[in-house]
Amino acid sequence: MNTQITKNSNAYKTDAQFPETTGGDEIDLRELFSVIWQGKWLIVAITTVFAIGAVIFAIKQPNIYKSGALLAPASEEQSGGLSALASQFGGLASLAGVNLGGKGGTDKTQLAIEVLKSRQFTSDFIQRHNILADVMAAEKWDRDADKIIYDSEFYNEKTNTWVREVKAPLKSEPSMQEAFKVFSKIIAVNKAKETGLVTISVEHVSPKVAQQWVSWLVKDINKVMKERDVAEAIRSREFLNKQIALTNVADIRSILYKLVEEQAKTIMFAEVRDEYVFKTIDPAIAPEDKAEPKRAVICLLGIILGGILGVMLVLIRHFIRKDKA
């Protein structure tokens, strides 16, 4: 009997020390929703302000157009004879400083992509085509007049002068380092792992400028890579001719003549082909539809952010008043 009384007493103490919290949780949730409901007008007001701000921000953002070209590597077409020689005379050719494009050689397509992304190529590209203003100061595109409107705080189109105010060591006219940083963000070069096809795309406020730049990029990278290979082949040929004049061994002279012949083929192949590294499959066009901004997404994010901030302010205000009380 005493044992039963002790168990009941212990159970009573346990219940007293650890009361059920289900009811308290329900009251807290009810209180939470009650506070939010009481502050609904503040939440609506804050959400409305954020929504209006998001709409204004989205409207002020200029349309960005994206143009791209699909390219296929064209360098493999010239490698047949060179690969055959590489298997036979690769060691001798390497001693002569001649690249026969063997299996261990550099992938010309990947090399061209890296050159395309390089600071030197970008700087030469901007200066060659005189597009610094279009890179650094283009604000929006006037569809009716079909012209670019420049930021007047950066560039004076009438006098073709830079008027931006910057601190040293920067100058009013942007440097090629600044232009490279901006240009790198609006150009994309991607190579598909499965097919090896390369896509070059450019984003700009003007669809025609985006198309023109893609076309120029394809043309210029083919030209640059062709000039590099031709210059290398000419130097190799000159070196081989000197070695031919210095040796009297018939077998070595025969090998050197074959190497000279392959360098001549490289030069000939480069001179007769404009699409030296990349062959255009689908050329760039002036897009009719914008790629950015996603105005509906911007407005939706503004509404969500405003709603969350409004609820947080209402709850914070309530708990501050509760603590003071």
Could you tell me if 159 and 28 lie in one domain? no
* Ordered DSSP codes for 291-315: -B--HHHHHHHHHHHHHHHHHHHHH
Query: How many C-beta neighbours within 10 Å does residue 140 have?
Result: 16
Could you tell me if 86 and 201 lie in one domain? yes
Residue percentage of the chain with pLDDT more than 90:
51
The pLDDT score that the predictor gives to residue 25 is 45
Residue range 8-34, pLDDT digits in tens: 555 444 444 444 444 444 447 788 888
Structural domain tally of the chain?
2
* Ordered DSSP codes for 232-279: HHHHHHHHHHHHHHH---HHHHHHHHHHHHHHHHHHHHHHH-S-SSEE
Could you tell me if 47 and 157 lie in one domain? no
- β-sheet bridge partners, residue 72: 279
Could you tell me if 141 and 251 lie in one domain? yes
Which of 80-94, 245-259, 279-293 is predicted least confidently?
Answer: 80-94
Please name which of 215, 228, 283, 216 lies closest in space to residue 108, comparing C-alpha atoms. Answer: 228
Could you tell me if 31 and 118 lie in one domain? no
Could you tell me if 144 and 50 lie in one domain? no
Could you tell me if 260 and 161 lie in one domain? yes
- DSSP annotation of 63 reads P
User: Mapping DSSP to helix (H, G, I), strand (E, B) and coil, where does residue 284 land?
Assistant: coil
227 within a domain of the structure (yes/no): yes
111 within a domain of the structure (yes/no): yes
The pLDDT score that the predictor gives to residue 106 is 59
Could you tell me if 53 and 71 lie in one domain? no
17 within a domain of the structure (yes/no): no
The pLDDT score that the predictor gives to residue 83 is 46
260 within a domain of the structure (yes/no): yes
Could you tell me if 32 and 180 lie in one domain? no
Could you tell me if 52 and 186 lie in one domain? no
Mean pLDDT, to the nearest integer, of 312-318?
88
Q: At what angle do helices 250-272 and 79-95 cross, to 10 degrees?
A: 130
Could you tell me if 113 and 241 lie in one domain? yes
308 within a domain of the structure (yes/no): yes
The pLDDT score that the predictor gives to residue 325 is 64
Could you tell me if 42 and 132 lie in one domain? no
pTM for this model (two decimals): 0.75
198 within a domain of the structure (yes/no): yes
287 within a domain of the structure (yes/no): no
Radius of gyration of the chain (CA): 35
Mean pLDDT, to the nearest integer, of 237-253?
83
206 within a domain of the structure (yes/no): yes
Q: What is the domain range of residue 315? A: 22-61+294-324
